[in-house]
Amino acid sequence: MDSVPVSEPQALPLIPVPPVGERDRRPGLAGLDQADLGRWFAERRQPGYRVRQLFDHVWQASAVSADELRTLPAALREEVEQAFRIDTLVETEVRPADAGLTEKALHRIDDGRLVESVLMRYPARGQRRWRATACISSQAGCAVGCPFCATGELGFMRDLTTAEIVDQARFWRRRLAAEGRRLTNIVFMGMGEPFLNADAVLAAAEALSDPRRFGMGARHITISTSGVIPGMERLIEMRPQYTLAVSLHAARPELRDVLVPLNRRYPVGDVVAAATAYSRQTGRRVSYEYVMIDGINDTPRDGDELARLLDGRHAHVNLIPMNPVAHTPWQASPRERIDDFAAGLRQAGIRTTVRRNRGFEIGAACGQLAADQAGAPAPAAVARRRELLVSRSAAALAGVQTARG
Ligand code: SAH
Ligand code: SF4
């Protein structure tokens, strides 16, 4: 993985990393492709069709235990279980919100760490069919440390493996199948920065979009990045049809340095240029995510700068009211200000959507459940962090004003 991208000392992580257990050395089945499994079966002189049988259990039936591998003889089933994990999610707690339309899962993985995923159901409306989107995590914690994000507060713990990423999608597909429904979209917008775990994430996206494995159309898979340019460049080389989302949150470099500390390493102009290259390569529109924070990044001037930055690009802006996070001094912009901001962007010819915050009451902004579970940080650390955020954002805003006279 890339080194931690921030040069200045951070006020993060705020919450101490919990003690962790041993890793399970058995690879997760969902992280293997047909060739990997084929070799394993060949070594055991098993007929080739066994691979397909096991594959069907993993990918068609979303099996989670060896008991479910019914087409395999009992002895082979046991051997499979000794060599591999059928599911890498050891235990999952699900909490409902939005009258059951949203569900938030807290998954425990082998070493006891917790990662989150969320399912959002969108009932059919007019021409739009019923949809269900799973939001999945790519890392336990995150090293980028955006100060409005609950995952950022946790700091970085570890990368998830390909199987741990894919198993979150299998979890929701299985749950929906029990309702007679299908999963229609997957977004990498849970915990972690996907392109700081690019190998596992790109392998997971490939497994999810492979018609012989998970079989989700690439256009229905969105990878969201805070702007890790090398990862974006890898995506450009691969020429897939995934949707790219870029977490922008500020167009002005001084402010983006505070809101997305990675901006010091990968400046916003270069990030947008890389996203534009992806959009040229694939013909796909890029989504720009912009969390609306009261009094921080929601002024008319911010809107103008954003419009200028995205002018003439194949772009779509999503404005997201900030979900309150326990330890920041900030809150969501008022609704009218968000609407004005959106109107300004639209007037400048930029496609813009205001997103409703789903799962608000259970803390659906990524990482909030895991942060709650990790326990409360010391009040002095919280106070210091708040002060730091207030002074850094004030300095960034004052800097911009002086620079422009
Ligand atoms: N690390 C990647 C993907 C995970 S974060 C990224 O930053 O793009 C997914 C999205 O959730 C990002 O757009 C992020 O800015 C947003 N998010 C994080 N904390 C939030 C909060 N408190 N309220 C609203 N959105 C938040
Ligand atoms: Fe990491 Fe994304 Fe949260 Fe920033 S918003 S800390 S990049 S997970």
- For ligand 1, whether the C-beta of 225 sits within 6 Å is yes
User: What is the number of the ligand closest to the CA of 250?
Assistant: 1
Q: Which two tokens stand for residue 194?
A: 């996907």
User: Which ligand is nearest the CA of 14, by number?
Assistant: 2
Q: How confident is the model at residue 395 (pLDDT cuts 50, 70, 90)?
A: confident
Q: Is the pLDDT of residue 369 over 60?
A: no
The span from the CA of 104 to the CA of 401, in Å, is 41
Residue 12 has, within 13 A of its CA and on its CB side, a CA count of 28
Tokens coding 243: 């949707």
How far is Cα 12 from Cα 20, in angstroms, rounded to an integer? 20
Closest ligand relative to 325 C-alpha: 1
Q: What is the pLDDT of residue 325?
A: 79
Sign of the torsion formed by the C-alpha atoms of 247, 251, 253 and 256: negative
**Residue of 222, 232, 247 to test ligand 2 pocket, by largest number of atoms within 8 Å of CB:** 247
Handedness of CA 63, 69, 70, 71 (dihedral sign): positive
Round to whole Å and give the CA distance between 14 and 149. 12
Centre of ligand 2 to C-alpha 152, Å, is: 6
Return d(Cα 333, Cα 298) in angstroms, integer: 7
Q: What is the DSSP letter of 321?
A: E
**150, 367 contact by CB (below 8 A):** yes
Structure confidence at residue 329 (pLDDT):
85
Q: Is the pLDDT of residue 39 over 80?
A: yes
How far is ligand 2, taken at its centre, from the CA of residue 67, in Å?
A: 38
- Residue 373: the pLDDT is 57
The C-alpha atoms of residue 383 and residue 312 are separated, in whole angstroms, by 43
**Which among 342, 366, 370, 372 has a CA at the least distance from the CA of 355?**
342
Q: 232 CB under 6 A from ligand 1?
A: no
The residues annotated as belonging to the active site are 116, 366
Secondary structure percentages of the chain, helix, strand, coil, to 5? 45, 20, 40
Instruction: Tell how far CA 131 is from the center of its chain.
Output: 19
Nearest alpha carbon, ligand 1 atom 8: 225
Nearest residue by C-alpha to atom 24 in ligand 1? 322
Of 385 and 189, the structure prediction assigns the larger pLDDT to 189
pLDDT at 385 over 80: no
Integer Cα distance of 132 and 127 in angstroms: 16
What value, to the nearest 5°, has the Cα angle with vertex 361 and ends 119 and 15? 90
CA of 23 to the centre of ligand 1 (A): 28
The model's confidence at residue 388, banded by pLDDT at 50, 70 and 90, is: confident
- What would the CATH number be for the domain defined by 91-397? 3.20.20.70
Q: Is 362 helix (H, G, I), strand (E, B) or coil?
A: helix
Long-range contacts for 370-374 (Cβ within 8 Å, ≥24 apart)?
A: 370/106, 370/114, 370/115, 370/116, 370/140, 370/150, 370/151, 370/154, 370/191, 371/15, 371/150, 371/151, 371/153, 371/154, 371/325, 371/326, 372/326, 373/106, 373/114, 374/15, 374/16, 374/18, 374/114, 374/154
The C-alpha R_g of the chain, in whole angstroms, comes to 22
Other C-beta atoms closer than 10 Å to the C-beta of 300 total 11
Mutate to test the pocket of ligand 1, among 104, 139, 148 (most ligand atoms within 8 A of CB): 148
Q: Which atom of ligand 2 is nearest to the CA of 139?
A: 8
- Work out the average pLDDT over 96-112: 90
- The predicted model gives 186-192 an average pLDDT of 94
CA 189 / ligand 1 centre spacing (Å): 7
Burial bucket for residue 52 (CB in 10 Å: 0-12, 13-18, 19+): middle
Other CB atoms closer than 10 Å to residue 193's CB: what's the count?
31
Q: Among 103-117, 328-342, 369-383, which is the least confidently predicted range?
A: 369-383
Quote the crossing angle between the two packed helices 229-238 and 268-282, to the nearest 10°. 10
The structural domains of the chain, with segments of one domain joined by +, span 29-83, 91-397
Q: What are the phi and psi torsion angles at 310 (to 5°)? A: -100, 0
Cis (ω within 30 of 0) for the bond into 13? yes
Nearest ligand 1 atom, CA 289: 13
Q: Please work out whether the CB of residue 152 comes within 6 Å of at least one atom of ligand 2.
A: yes
| Ligand having the closest approach to the CA of 360 | 1
pLDDT number for residue 402 = 43
Q: How far apart are the CA of 365 and the centre of ligand 1, in A?
A: 7
Q: What is the pLDDT of residue 164?
A: 98
- Indicate whether 6 pLDDT > 50: no
Ligand 2 within 6 A of CB of 193: yes
Tokens for 149? 């994000």
The answer to whether 192 and 165 are in contact (CB under 8 A) is no
Which mutation among 243, 287, 289, 328 tests ligand 1's pocket best, with the greatest number of atoms within 8 A of CB?
Answer: 289
**Rounded to an integer, what distance in angstroms lies between the CA atom of residue 292 and that of residue 290?**
6
User: Which residues are CB-contacts of 112 (< 8 A; sequence separation ≥ 6)?
Assistant: 18, 19, 20, 21
Check whether domain 29-83 has CATH 3.40.50.2000, yes or no: no
Per-residue pLDDT, averaged over 142-163, amounts to 91
- 236 falls in which pLDDT band (50, 70, 90)? very high
Q: Read off the pLDDT of residues 318-343 as tens digits, 9 standing for 90 and up.
A: 999 998 876 788 999 999 999 999 99
226 lines ligand 1 (CB under 6 A): yes
Q: Is the pLDDT of residue 252 over 60?
A: yes
